[in-house]
Amino acid sequence: MYKLIDGKGIASQIKEEIRNDVSLIRQSGARAPRLAAILVGSDGASETYVAHKVKACSEVGIESTLLRFPDTIGEERLLAEIGRLNIDKDVDGFIVQLPLPPHISEDAVVSAVSPDKDVDGFHPENVGRMVLGMPSFISATPFGILELLKRYDISVSGKRCVVIGRSNIVGRPLSILLSKKGVDATVTLLHSRSDNLKGIASEADILIAAIGSPSFVTSDMVKEGAVVIDVGTTRVKSDTTKSGWRLAGDVDFESVAPLCSYITPVPGGVGPMTIVSLLMNTVEAARRLTGQIAGSSV
């Protein structure tokens, strides 16, 4: 019988820990940490993610500021806002919610954020430091997945980990973190051009699906006893929810779960961990800026 990995429950525990960390910061005489979030346009999924991030901040005592701009905002103007946040002493860390409208270069935006305030861990300097194993902000979803495995005592050392999906936000950084010294997994990164995707996936001890394609992973891709981590959060139409949509994972849960030793649900698996990782990074940014304990996140 498989065990369900309760990301929501673990995220609640971590929020409690963050609440304590924030209290300690405040007891030291410093102001509360502050996260700012820039949201451009009104994409439904981005609206929801940012709302969750703002709510999570308030639950742990982190202050937050939401800056909204229409999707007609020019790149120059957005870069100017980023420049302003970079020097705002009251903001410890900030994020620019992706995706951005096509007329704005995500590369330019990500590179404009000060690496010291880049709590998403997307800036090339933080990505480079992460690759080299130096202290850095680690992007929230890979960080959350590693924390989830750690807290469930699921060892990845020496294990065959297969990551499906090579996005800059999840698949690629995760593949690097899993192969780091001290984490020590044997990692294969699969993508849309991979030959024999099924054959390789079905050799995985730990299979991580991050492609954004509902029910992509079926039972014929999963080895008996595997740990399966589902990063997918695609909105699909639903007749049974008030909103008219539901979140669909990348894994066909019904057919895959019976084969697994552990599996994450969608929702309630990786998603809540992504949010707490951002909170952890924000507290770390606040500590660094106030001169308290600096250190690596992973």
Catalytically annotated residues? 53, 97, 120
Find all residues with CB under 8 Å of 276, minimum gap 6, and list them. Answer: 11, 14, 15, 18, 56, 144, 147
When the beta carbons of 50 and 260 are compared against ligand GUN, the nearer one is: 50
Q: CA angle 225-230-231, nearest 5°?
A: 155
Residues 85-114 binding ligand GUN (CB under 6 A) are 95-98
When the beta carbons of 123 and 129 are compared against ligand GUN, the nearer one is: 123
Question: Which residue's CB comes closest to ligand GUN?
Answer: 98
Q: Return d(Cα 276, Cα 144) in angstroms, integer.
A: 7
Q: Return d(Cα 162, Cα 174) in angstroms, integer.
A: 10
Which of the 8 DSSP states describes residue 271?
A: H
176-180-185-189 Cα dihedral, nearest 10 degrees: 10
Among 60, 169, 229, 248, binds ligand GUN (CB under 6 A): 169
* 3-state secondary structure at position 68: strand
Size of the site for ligand GUN (CB under 6 A): 7
96-99-105-110 Cα dihedral, nearest 10 degrees: 40
Residues 139-168 binding ligand GUN (CB under 6 A) are 140
**Binding of ligand GUN at residue 38 (CB under 6 A)?**
no
Q: How far is the CB of 127 from ligand GUN (least distance, A)?
A: 13
Q: Return d(Cα 286, Cα 33) in angstroms, integer.
A: 5
When the beta carbons of 79 and 98 are compared against ligand GUN, the nearer one is: 98
Among 6, 21, 118, 120, binds ligand GUN (CB under 6 A): 120
When the beta carbons of 98 and 200 are compared against ligand GUN, the nearer one is: 98
What is the strand order of the sheet 262-263 is part of?
3-4, 262-263, 227-230, 206-209, 160-164, 186-190
Find all residues with CB under 8 Å of 223, minimum gap 6, and list them. Answer: 202, 203, 204, 205, 207, 259
When the beta carbons of 41 and 290 are compared against ligand GUN, the nearer one is: 41
**Exposure string over 122-132, b if 16+ CB within 10 A, otherwise e:** bbebbbebbee
**Binding of ligand GUN at residue 32 (CB under 6 A)?**
no
Q: Which residues bind ligand GUN (CB under 6 A)?
A: 95-98, 120, 140, 169
